């Protein structure tokens, strides 16, 4: 096996450090009283809006919303990298592996409104070192179920793969629609944001980069 991508891991660690409030890939602990506290906060929001949280339609809502947040933001307490630990070798495969159209739902950390779309992931295995295709989708799923920025989601998908699988190169393209742009503020429905990240040998090899980017865009 050739040199692992330790330099890429270090580069990633540096990139993710000190970027105003940046949160790392590692999971955080779930407070024991999370459900109760979220429900109490939701009840307070309803009261602040002038609503009656005890009326029939609302009385179960704080609890329900608490369960919903613990579900859609549950990736905070999971480590995406564990899914990549199961690996296998296919020495004869020298080309890229591309998983397109991984659907995801995330929450923008500015407004806690959903953004959702597709992630497309490519990597160039090191010495045939592969992971299961579903594992790439699992990584996307864990990282998406956190308060996120689309750019950070894109970076962290690549960083997780680099750290555990140590491939020669990774490229990630994420396209998404942000409800905070559609439902409020500018109220721009239908605009899509595209973010990309390229790491490893594809950063220098412009021909390969263009070829993989074209395949990722589909």
Closest C-alpha among 176, 203, 180, 207 to residue 192 = 176
CB nearer to Zn ion: pick between 146 and 199: 146
Task: Say whether 60 is catalytic.
Answer: no
H-helix segments, 109-192: 133-144, 150-165, 179-182
**How far does Cα 77 stand from its chain's mean position?**
13
Contact range with ligand GTP by CB under 6 A, out of 11-19, 35-43, 177-185, 203-211: 177-185
Closest C-alpha among 128, 135, 127 to residue 99 = 135
Coil vs helix vs strand at 136: helix
Question: How big is the CA angle at 18 (ends 12 and 21), to the nearest 5 degrees?
Answer: 110
Residue 124 interface partner, choices ligand GTP, Zn ion, none, CB cut-off 5-8 Å depending on type: none
| Dihedral over alpha carbons 126, 132, 134, 135 (to 10 degrees) | -60
Which of the following is catalytic: 87, 111, 175, 211?
A: 111
Q: Is 153 in the site for Zn ion (CB under 5 A)?
A: no
CB nearer to ligand GTP: pick between 197 and 212: 197
Q: Is 46 in the site for Zn ion (CB under 5 A)?
A: no
The H or E element containing residue 63 is helix 61-72
Of the residues 108, 124, 140, 172, which one makes contact with Zn ion according to CB under 5 A = 108
Of the residues 64, 110, 184, 192, which one makes contact with Zn ion according to CB under 5 A = 110
Is there a binding annotation on residue 120? Answer: no
- Contact residues: Zn ion, CB under 5 A: 108, 110-111, 180
- Contact residues: ligand GTP, CB under 6 A: 108, 110, 149-151, 178, 180-181, 185-186
Catalytic residues: 108-111, 150, 178, 180
């Amino acid at each position: 096996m050739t040199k692992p991508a330790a330099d890429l891991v270090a580069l990633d660690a540096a990139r993710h450090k000190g970027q105003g409030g940046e949160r790392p890939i590692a999971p955080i602990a779930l407070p024991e009283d999370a459900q109760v506290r979220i429900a109490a906060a939701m009840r307070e929001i309803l009261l602040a809006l002038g609503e009656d949280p005890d009326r029939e339609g609302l009385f179960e809502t704080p609890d329900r919303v608490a369960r919903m947040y613990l579900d859609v933001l549950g990736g905070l307490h999971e480590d995406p990298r564990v899914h990549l630990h199961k690996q296998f070798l296919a020495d004869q495969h020298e080309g890229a592996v591309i998983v397109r159209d991984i659907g995801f739902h995330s929450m923008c950390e500015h407004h806690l409104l959903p953004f959702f779309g597709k992630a497309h992931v490519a990597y160039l295995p090191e010495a045939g070192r592969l992971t299961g295709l579903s594992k790439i989708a699992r990584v996307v799923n864990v990282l998406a179920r956190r308060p996120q920025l689309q750019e950070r989601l894109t970076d962290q998908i690549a960083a997780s793969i680099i750290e555990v699988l140590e491939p020669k190169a990774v490229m990630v393209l994420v396209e998404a629609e942000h409800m905070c742009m559609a439902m409020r503020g500018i109220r721009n429905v239908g605009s899509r944001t595209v973010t990309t990240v390229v790491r490893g040998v594809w950063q220098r090899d412009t021909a390969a980069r263009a070829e993989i980017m074209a395949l990722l865009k589909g």
